Structure 1
Amino acid sequence: MSDWPELFETELLRLGLQPVRARQLTAETAQQSAEHGAPPADVFGPAHLYARHLVAELNSSASARRLAPGPVLLSLTGVGKRYRRRTVFAGVDLRVRGGEVAAIVGANGCGKSTLLRICAGLIRPSAGEVRRTRRVGFVPQDGGTAGWLTAEEHFTLFGAAAGMVPGRARSTGVHLAARLAWRPNTGQPAQHLSGGTRQKLNLVLGELHAPDLLLLDEPYQGFDQGTYLDFWQQVFAWRDAGRAVVVVTHLLHDLRNVDHVLDLGAL
């Protein structure tokens, strides 16, 4: 049997975690690797590196110190969208600063995804004004990847669009994937990935060029519970780094994690 769990727990203890918490985290990683049907080394990478990453994330989220909000990175004033005779939404106001997380909620069909695409500049509003920072990362709910390309080919392609050399784009993509407990399989095209893993790929591509504003459209579709928690830890890390994050969600318990809530259904 692999000694990965023992090495992982030993490193957690060395980094200062209490024994009970270290055992709990070791059990959780064992459960997650079992759900993936793969050894923990294949899911999380080297035990000592994953332990260091996990402790750093826990310390970041547990810290009571919060930076003062930064500059406004996204501003919507009186934004509306209309298709022929149908008004999707009107009079939307939203301001998100660096170091803040905003959630867009509302019933199906109220225009959440449409509004996020307007924020990204992919759709023009019918009314109102949108101001955003230049460096924007957009993660769609569906699509966003090419089925015949591998993960590393995606990293190279998206990196080139951001002016990154291929080697740096690939190494950055692999590093960001590890934060989501994912090690891309060389040679495996995206069409052979599970739905949850394709969403991990989308998240990595959205962050690849280190944007100041991240726009996420229900990015956790297909995630298991462990990866879902990893996702929110990553959101906290972005916020602590002074980035602005906007998340479209239908999970109301997510709202305890955010600084602003925009309910399109209430407009």
Structure 2
Amino acid sequence: MSWPALFEAELVRLGVEPARARQLADETGAQAGEHAADPAQFFGPAHLYARHLVTELQAPAPAPRYAEGPVLLSLTGVTKRYRRRTVFHGVDLTVRGGEVAAIVGANGCGKSTLLRVCAGLARPDGGSVRRTRRVGYVPQDGGTADWLTPEEHFTLFGAVAGMVPRRARSTGDHLAARLAWRPARGQRAQQLSGGTRQKLNLVLGELHAPDLLLLDEPYQGFDQGTYLDFWRQVFTWRDAGRAVVVVTHLLHDLQNVDHVLDLGAHA
């Protein structure tokens, strides 16, 4: 029996609904495929990974690190439709300062759309959204201009936040260094690798020191070292009392978060 089939069978044995088990098996296989890896080597034995995933999805949220932290994002009964199709419905999520939340689910279930709703870039068709005023949003694609250098991005985004050019550039360089990146002077964004361009997106999302960071699969193109740097930065944000929401398709990321929103359950 193949690894995905063993994984699916173990999920069902552990009480996951068959349709949801098939969805998770397909999604997990796709994740390994994106990394050109054998699932057994990427995730380990199928039965152990299935038990780990079920434990993570069903475990109650740990006590907040900042029990008195303010609510920086609150979704209540949020629904989104495109024409006659319901993308998701009845989504509830509360994230306080000092907490990290992950949004997971199969491709096409609306994870990026929900994050845009959280950011105020898309309107829900039902329910309510309350968020802090200072929000940093990092899209999965786009967000940068091909013809601008990183330094010019820092200056432009800083100006929007009321930062003088020198401070914006120095802040951008400092934040880039945390991701083991030193922007080259005169190099345009279109000349950056995919992973480096995503580092630029992350720096721009944090440049104005937001209270709430919304990150849409922000580690695309990262190598393993940069991926670990990214999560260390997330922990730094959490320790500083910020709220972080991460859209992820890497299920092993769930061990790093305080809340998990499985959007597939709201289709």
Q: Same fold (TM over 0.5)?
A: yes
Give the aligned partner of residue 253 of structure 2: 254
Shift of 1:266: 1.4
- Output the CA distance in 1 between the equivalents of 2:187 and 2:171: 18
Q: Percent identity?
A: 88
CA distance in 2, matches of 1:219, 1:162: 22
Give, as a single letter, the amino acid of the residue that structure 2 aligns with 1:105. V
Check conservation: 1:69, 1:99, Cα contact below 8 A: no
1:72 matched residue in structure 2: 71
Contact 2:66–2:97 (CA<8 Å) still a contact in 1? no
1:91-118 CA distances to partner (integer Å, 9 max, x unpaired)? 0000000000000000000000000000
Query: Is 2:262 aligned against 1:263?
Result: yes
Provide structure 1 residue ranges, at least 5 long, that are not aligned to the other structure: 1-65
Equivalent residue runs for 1:161-180 within 5 Å: 161-180=160-179
Counterpart amino acid of residue 85 in structure 1: R
1:62 equivalent in structure 2: none
Secondary structure of 1:110's counterpart equals coil
1:85 is matched with which residue?
Answer: 84
- SS in structure 1 at match of 2:72: strand
Structure 1 residues 207 and 191, CA, compared in 2 at 3 Å: closer, same or farther? same
Q: In structure 2, what residue type is equivalent to 1:84?
A: R
Tell me what 2:148 maps to. Answer: 149
CA shift digits 1:109-141 (9 cap, x unpaired):
000000000000000001110000000000000
Instruction: Report the secondary structure of 1:81's partner residue.
Output: strand
Cα distance change, pair 80–159 in 1 and its aligned pair in 2 (3 A):
same
Cα RMSD (Å) of the superposition?
Answer: 1.0
Query: In structure 1, the residue corresponding to 2:231 is in which secondary structure?
Result: helix
Residue 60 of structure 1 aligns with which residue? none
What are the Cα deviations for residues 24-80 of structure 1, in whole angstroms up to 9, with x where unaligned?
xxxxxxxxxxxxxxxxxxxxxxxxxxxxxxxxxxxxxxxxxx443510000000000
The question of 1:105 aligning with 2:98 is answered no
- Match of residue 223 from structure 1: 222
The one-letter code matched in structure 2 to 1:199 is Q
Q: Find runs of 4+ consecutive structure 1 residues off by over 6 angstroms.
A: none
The number of residue pairs the alignment matches comes to 203
Which residue number in structure 1 is paired with residue 125 of structure 2?
126
1-structure distance, mates of 2:158, 2:83: 38
The residue aligned with 2:182 is 183
Report the residue type matching 1:135 in the other structure: R
For 1:186 and 1:68, the matched residues in 2 are separated by: 44
The letter of the residue matching 2:210 is P
Alpha-carbon separation, structure 1, partners of 2:102 and 2:66: 20
